[in-house]
Structure 1
Amino acid sequence: MSSISVRIPTILRSYTGGEAEVKATGSTVREVVADLEANYSGIAARILDDNGRIRRFVNVYVGEEDVRFADGLDTPTPDGVQISIIPAVAGG
């Protein structure tokens, strides 16, 4: 299992006790989200929709790569990589 650093956006920090960055384990984004959920109950529902896919208005990056353009939830998460969860900002 890889040790991953996950950047948590302000809107989700209520799940992590205010922490801006937490550690998680997993060899794919899916496993990392499951590990986050195991440690921070309720956070996965804010990242994934009812079908288990990344929510439309949430962007997830492994390093600098948007997982939507990689393998989605099956994107590999090498040891030491940083994952960023970024809520999309709507503007007008």
Structure 2
Amino acid sequence: MTVNVRIPTILRTYTGGAGEVSVAPVGATVSDVLTALDGDYPGITARVLDEQGALRRFVNLYVDEDDIRMLDGLSTGTRPGALVSIIPAVAGG
């Protein structure tokens, strides 16, 4: 199974500039996708997850159009061909 991951501009240094990459997770959860992503692009997951392995406060993850915080968090299931989007929160006034 492969899952596509949309990479924000700020993290594209890890992916050689690619805005979207495909990974083949061993399992079928967002956590598994992030593990596979970090295996292919070392260090990128440390920018998404904190030291305890939780989603960083100012990072949002979506599976297709659904915010994982409104679903099962990092345990949210994925399907073959799903699109996981990493979206950094934007603040300003």
Q: What's the TM-score once normalised by structure 2's chain length?
A: 0.95
Q: Which residue is 1:30 aligned to?
A: 31
Q: Distance in 2 between matches of 1:43 and 1:32?
A: 12
* Structure 2 unpaired stretches of 5+: none
Aligned to 1:16: 15
Contact 1:25 1:31 in 2 (8 A): no
**Hey, what's the Cα distance between the residues in 1 that align with 2:16 and 2:58?**
23
Aligned twin of 2:60? 59
User: Which stretch of structure 1 is more off in the superposition, 22-31 or 58-67?
Assistant: 22-31
- Cross-structure match for 2:2: 3
- Count of aligned pairs between the two proteins: 91
After superposition, the CA RMSD in angstroms is 0.6
4+ runs deviating over 6 angstroms: none
Alpha-carbon distance, 1:75 to partner? 0.3
Mapping 1:40-51, distance limit 5 Å:
40-51=41-52
For normalisation by structure 1, the TM-score amounts to: 0.96
